[in-house]
Amino acid sequence: MSDSSKVRIALLASCTIDLIEKPLGTALADRGIAGEFWIAGFGQYRQALIDPESAFYRFAPDVAILYLDGEDLFAPLLERPLDFTAAERKELAQQRAAEVGELVALLKRNLPRMSVLLNTSAVPPLHVLGSLEHNSEFSVQDAAATYNEELRVIARQNPGIAIIDAAALMALLGYANWHDPRFWHLARSRWSGAATRLLARRYAAAIAAGRGQMWKCIVLDLDNTLWGGIVGEDGMEGIRLGEEGAGLAFREFQNELLNLQRQGVLLAICSKNNPEDAMQVIRNHPSMRLREEHFAAMRINWEDKATNLRALAAELNIGLDSIVFLDDNPVERSWVREAVPEVHVPDWPADSSSFKTALLELAAERFVKFALTVEDLNRGEQYRQQARRRPPAVGNASLEDFYRSLQMRATIAPANASTIPRIAQLTQKTNQFNLTTRRYTEADITALAASVHSAVYSLELDDCFGRNGIVGVAIVRYNREAWTIDTFLLSCRVMGRTVEKAFLSYIADTARRWGARKLIGEYYPTAKNAPVAVFYRENGFLAREESSGTLWELDLEQQTVAMPAWFELTTFEDKIHVG
Residues 108, 443: contact at Cβ < 8 Å?
Answer: yes
Residues 427, 443: contact at Cβ < 8 Å?
Answer: no
With 60 as the cut, is the pLDDT of residue 387 above it? no
Calculate the CA 47 to chain-centre distance. Answer: 32
Transcribe 1-30 into DSSP letters.
-PPPEEEEEEEEESS--GGGHHHHHHHHHT
Question: d(Cα 188, Cα 32) in Å, to the nearest integer?
Answer: 31
DSSP bridge pairs for 323: 217
CB contact set of 371 (below 8 Å; sequence gap of 6+): 421
pLDDT computed for residue 158 by the predictor: 87
The tens digit of pLDDT for each residue in 208-262 reads: 988 878 889 999 999 999 999 989 888 899 999 999 888 999 999 999 999 999 9
Q: What one-letter code names the amino acid at 237? A: E
pLDDT computed for residue 395 by the predictor: 47
Residues 241, 286: contact at Cβ < 8 Å?
Answer: no
Which of the pair, 215 or 2, is modelled with greater confidence?
215
Which of the pair, 367 or 391, is modelled with greater confidence?
367
User: Which of 156-160, 202-206, 493-497, 559-563 bottoms out in mean pLDDT, i.e. has the lowest?
Assistant: 493-497
> pLDDT-derived band of residue 579, with 50, 70 and 90 as boundaries?
very low
Calculate the CA 255 to chain-centre distance. Answer: 21
pLDDT computed for residue 130 by the predictor: 87
Question: d(Cα 253, Cα 256) in Å, to the nearest integer?
Answer: 5
Round the average pLDDT of the chain to a whole number and report it. 90
CB contact set of 516 (below 8 Å; sequence gap of 6+): 478, 480, 481, 482, 483, 556, 578
Question: d(Cα 52, Cα 54) in Å, to the nearest integer?
Answer: 6
The tens digit of pLDDT for each residue in 498-522 reads: 999 999 999 999 999 999 999 999 9
Q: State the DSSP code for 248.
A: H
What mean pLDDT comes out for the span 73-100?
Answer: 95
pLDDT computed for residue 391 by the predictor: 53
Which of the pair, 425 or 398, is modelled with greater confidence?
425
pLDDT computed for residue 22 by the predictor: 97
pLDDT computed for residue 577 by the predictor: 52
pLDDT computed for residue 340 by the predictor: 94
With 80 as the cut, is the pLDDT of residue 121 above it? yes
> pLDDT-derived band of residue 479, with 50, 70 and 90 as boundaries?
confident
**Number of alpha carbons in the 13 Å side-chain half-sphere of residue 144:** 22
Question: d(Cα 49, Cα 557) in Å, to the nearest integer?
Answer: 49
What mean pLDDT comes out for the span 89-108?
Answer: 95
Q: How far is CA 299 from CA 225, 235, 421, in A?
A: 15, 20, 33
The tens digit of pLDDT for each residue in 451-462 reads: 999 999 999 999
pLDDT computed for residue 386 by the predictor: 63
Residues 221, 271: contact at Cβ < 8 Å?
Answer: yes
pLDDT computed for residue 501 by the predictor: 95
> pLDDT-derived band of residue 377, with 50, 70 and 90 as boundaries?
low
CB contact set of 332 (below 8 Å; sequence gap of 6+): 221, 305
Question: d(Cα 143, Cα 94) in Å, to the nearest integer?
Answer: 9
Backbone angles phi, psi at 22, to 5 degrees: -65, -50
The H or E element containing residue 266 is strand 266-272
With 90 as the cut, is the pLDDT of residue 397 above it? no
In the chain, the domains with their CATH numbers are 5-210 (3.40.50.1110), 217-366 (3.40.50.1000), 393-571 (3.40.630.30)
Residue 557 three-state SS? coil
Q: What one-letter code names the amino acid at 173? A: L
pLDDT computed for residue 3 by the predictor: 41
pLDDT computed for residue 128 by the predictor: 85
pLDDT computed for residue 171 by the predictor: 94
Residue 435 three-state SS? coil
Transcribe 41-71 into DSSP letters.
PTT-HHHHHH-TTSHHHHH--SEEEEE--HH
With 70 as the cut, is the pLDDT of residue 394 above it? no
Question: Percentage of residues in the chain with pLDDT exceeding 90?
Answer: 70
Q: What one-letter code names the amino acid at 190? A: R
pLDDT computed for residue 66 by the predictor: 97
pLDDT computed for residue 261 by the predictor: 94
Which of the pair, 15 or 129, is modelled with greater confidence?
15
pLDDT computed for residue 1 by the predictor: 36
Question: d(Cα 95, Cα 153) in Å, to the nearest integer?
Answer: 14
The H or E element containing residue 226 is none
User: Which of 33-42, 376-385, 416-425, 564-573 bottoms out in mean pLDDT, i.e. has the lowest?
Assistant: 376-385
pLDDT computed for residue 556 by the predictor: 94
Residues 64, 115: contact at Cβ < 8 Å?
Answer: yes
Which of the pair, 390 or 293, is modelled with greater confidence?
293
Q: How many CB atoms lie within 10 A of CB 467?
A: 16
With 50 as the cut, is the pLDDT of residue 153 above it? yes
> pLDDT-derived band of residue 393, with 50, 70 and 90 as boundaries?
very low
pLDDT computed for residue 435 by the predictor: 95
With 80 as the cut, is the pLDDT of residue 319 above it? yes
Q: State the DSSP code for 76.
A: H
What mean pLDDT comes out for the span 91-107?
Answer: 95
With 80 as the cut, is the pLDDT of residue 573 above it? no
> pLDDT-derived band of residue 492, with 50, 70 and 90 as boundaries?
confident
What mean pLDDT comes out for the span 82-103?
Answer: 95
What mean pLDDT comes out for the span 528-556?
Answer: 87
Q: Which of 13, 15, 17 is nearest to 196 (CA)?
A: 17
Question: d(Cα 442, Cα 417) in Å, to the nearest integer?
Answer: 10
With 50 as the cut, is the pLDDT of residue 18 above it? yes
CA angle 31, 34, 38 (to 5 degrees): 130
With 80 as the cut, is the pLDDT of residue 545 above it? no
Backbone angles phi, psi at 475, to 5 degrees: -120, 125
The tens digit of pLDDT for each residue in 278-304 reads: 999 999 999 999 999 999 999 999 888
